[in-house]
Homo-oligomer: A and B are copies of this chain.
């Protein structure tokens, strides 16, 4: 796990540097927009999604520049979703990673626009020839990201989440909600590494299944964390799910039951990558990390 943390931290730095390069400060009326985009994307986070892209890509010996660009792209997409999720009309969250959320630091209009532009930029980066990959690979990345993040993916999940507030959801409904809301993008991150590496269909399917189950385990563990960790540990408001009357794994299975379910799904994630040798050990460690983390 120490090995994993060092590897994640090194990759997070590389992604940070890449985002900084892709989003240089500008002068003029749009300076505030770029500042908000930088605020929302730089300086923090575990970069789980970016790490996944890069680690999977490294299985296929993909160039680091391409992997870092695709990693920066998915982190921008993720950041856009957080900026919009935190808005007053949505989750109305004042804190994000222990700092004022983007609309609190700037203002609502700027946060809406910064989120919009971050989404655009995440597609722009994938499509750009500077992401050293063939047009075919780049178009496949764009398609996979759009599938994962649009109405049939992340945003669809956010809608279901809003619709479900205050209503008791079944375990099946909660699982579907999370599969869409957070699972799709985590699955995409793993898959993006395989697309970049031009993995064959069978390998791509395995990596995708690994990402899907890793994402599910991550979310179940997140529910457990929300119920058990302090705001200080989380860097965001704790116990929010219960306060919002949201159906969670913890509400349905209890803290112990949810923790057990997280471990079960995590083991399942690991099983999908058993065709790989020790070069996939960090992906295996990552499975344990997502269920054992405290923030």
Contacts and interface: CB of A to CB of B under 8 A. Distances in A.
Nearest to A23: B151
A189 B232 CA distance: 49
Q: Count the copies.
A: 2
Interface in A179-218: none
A256 interface: no
Q: Chain A: interface secondary structure?
A: helix
Contact of A147 (B90, B110, B124, B162): B124
A143 B164 CA distance: 36
A146 B120 contact: yes
Contact of A30 (B29, B151, B173): B151
Contacts of A29: 156, 159-160, 163-164, 173, 177
B127 A32 contact: no
B120 A151 contact: yes
A158 interface: yes
B120 A150 contact: yes
Contact of A109 (B89, B109, B110, B173): B89
A214 to B, nearest CB: 23
Interface stretch (A45-53, A63-71, A134-142): A134-142
B89 A155 contact: no
Interface string A4-40: 0000000000000000000000001110111001000
Given A29-B177, A37-B151, 8 more contacts: A30-B159, A87-B112, A89-B109, A110-B162, A120-B149, A121-B146, A121-B150, A124-B143
Interface of A: 28-30, 32-34, 37, 80, 84, 87, 89-90, 107-110, 112-113, 115-117, 119-121, 123-124, 127-128, 134-136, 138-139, 142-143, 146-147, 149-152, 155-156, 158-160, 162-164, 173, 177
